[in-house]
Amino acid sequence: MNLDRKLRLIKGVAEEIVTEEELLELLGEKKHPIAYDGFEPSGMAHLPFGIYRAMNLKDLLEAGIHFKLLIADWHAWINNKMGGDLERIQRVGKYFVEVWKAAGVDIKKIDIVWASDLVNSSEYWKKVVLIGKSTTLKRATRCLSIMGRKEGELKDVAQYIYPMMQCADIFQLEADICQLGLDQRRVNILAREIGPKLGWWKPVVVSHHMLMGLQGIKEPEGFDENKNFDKEISSKMSKSKVSTAIFVHDTEEEIKEKIRKAYCPEKITRDNPVMEYAKYLIFRSFKTMKLERPAKFGGDVEFSSYGELEKAYLQGDIHPLDLKNAVAKYINLLIKPVREHFEKNEKARELYEFVKTQRITR
């Protein structure tokens, strides 16, 4: 595969690349550069994790990327997820692996790494300390947003270690590319600054889009870097906000009901979550999108690209309810294989039943 094709695949995943020139140089130097993403095991899998992440992985693997998925069990422990119970956190991590498998991720083509294995290395902790000694307290505090926390929400000193650990993960995993969501941008930029200072390297940051929750846009309480990015992070679909999320275990009727209640203003596509699901999920998975309508309302209509759908919606040719019905149908088709895997596979079902009974803590 030529460089242009590889670059197009990666750019198709990216909301932001820091920097594109460095990425192109990296692709020219290494046939299979290493990228990583990390996940705290907590809660049930939703659309961004179970469907969107799998889509991005497939494109990156096609581009020749050697991908490492970090199950950040120690990070979740520090962040008091699942009540701060490491054993329960690790069972949720095993559930996460089953979700990826069910979503079509070829587990044989990626490396699944547990943070609990990384922390057994003295070299890892040396990196954590070196990074901590090279980071000001103010900078570390700003990086706490990667945990979904603000300064006033800190419960213990261990949480200050979290950003230093996540930065160390990059270098311990020998990652050339940090391929995480925009909400992790601050620590990835920190790694780019610190790496060369400590004699390591400057990783390329390929940040993917954050799928919006059903509630629509949510203005950030404060921002100091990029307002659009902060709005996207504040509005992302979150597992802990059950009423604004779609999960991979939702039934067809539950999906329809949730989409019907979603924010979807007429003739407006910007900050419209239903249109966003069409753009980032449906048109990446299906060649066309068909809206079924009674003849008196114009009859069925089919679109071959998001651009066509967007134009029709902006002109008022598509009613929000017709759009919602179509989006719900296609999302159900995407979720169905995952849902059925957990219904039919005994091991997967047991893990799901365990996760379902747990009280999710922030």
User: How much is the average pLDDT of 44-64?
Assistant: 94
Domain C-terminal end among 199, 214, 229:
214
Residue with tokens 């309810």: 321
Residues 136 and 36 grouped into a single domain: yes
Residues 192 and 65 grouped into a single domain: yes
Instruction: Evaluate if residue 179 carries a pLDDT over 80.
Output: yes
Contact 202, 268 (CB under 8 A): no
Residues 189 and 314 grouped into a single domain: no
Residue 304: predicted pLDDT: 96
Residues 179 and 136 grouped into a single domain: yes
Residues 182 and 246 grouped into a single domain: no
The reply to whether 229 falls in a domain is: no
Residue 229: predicted pLDDT: 64
Nearest-Å Rg of the Cα atoms of the chain is 21
Residues 154 and 191 grouped into a single domain: yes
Q: Residue 179, CB half-sphere, CA atoms under 13 Å: how many?
A: 27
Ramachandran region, residue 241 (left: φ > 0; alpha: ψ -120 to 50; beta: rest):
beta
Residues 254 and 185 grouped into a single domain: no
The rounded distance, in Å, linking the Cα atoms of 180 and 18 is: 12
Instruction: Evaluate if residue 70 carries a pLDDT over 50.
Output: yes
Give me the count of residues in the chain: 362
Residue 223: predicted pLDDT: 45
Ramachandran region, residue 84 (left: φ > 0; alpha: ψ -120 to 50; beta: rest):
left
The reply to whether 57 falls in a domain is: yes
Type of residue found at 278: A
Residues 99 and 144 grouped into a single domain: yes
The domain containing residue 36 runs over which residues? Answer: 3-214
Residues 320 and 182 grouped into a single domain: no
Residues 119 and 202 grouped into a single domain: yes
The distance from CA 189 to its chain's CA centroid, rounded to whole angstroms, is 18
Q: What DSSP state is assigned to residue 291? A: E
The reply to whether 315 falls in a domain is: yes
The residues that bridge with 66 in the sheet, in sequence order, are: 34
**Nearest in space to 328 (alpha carbons), one of 337, 320, 338:** 320
Instruction: Evaluate if residue 306 carries a pLDDT over 50.
Output: yes
The residues that bridge with 114 in the sheet, in sequence order, are: 71
Total number of domains constituting the chain? 2
User: How much is the average pLDDT of 205-230?
Assistant: 76
**Nearest in space to 166 (alpha carbons), one of 138, 193, 136, 146:** 146
Residue 221: predicted pLDDT: 56
269-292 per-position pLDDT tens digit: 999 999 999 999 999 999 999 999
Report the CATH number that the domain containing residue 245 is assigned in CATH.
Answer: 1.10.240.10
User: How much is the average pLDDT of 184-208?
Assistant: 95
Type of residue found at 171: F
The residues that bridge with 322 in the sheet, in sequence order, are: none
Instruction: Evaluate if residue 158 carries a pLDDT over 90.
Output: no
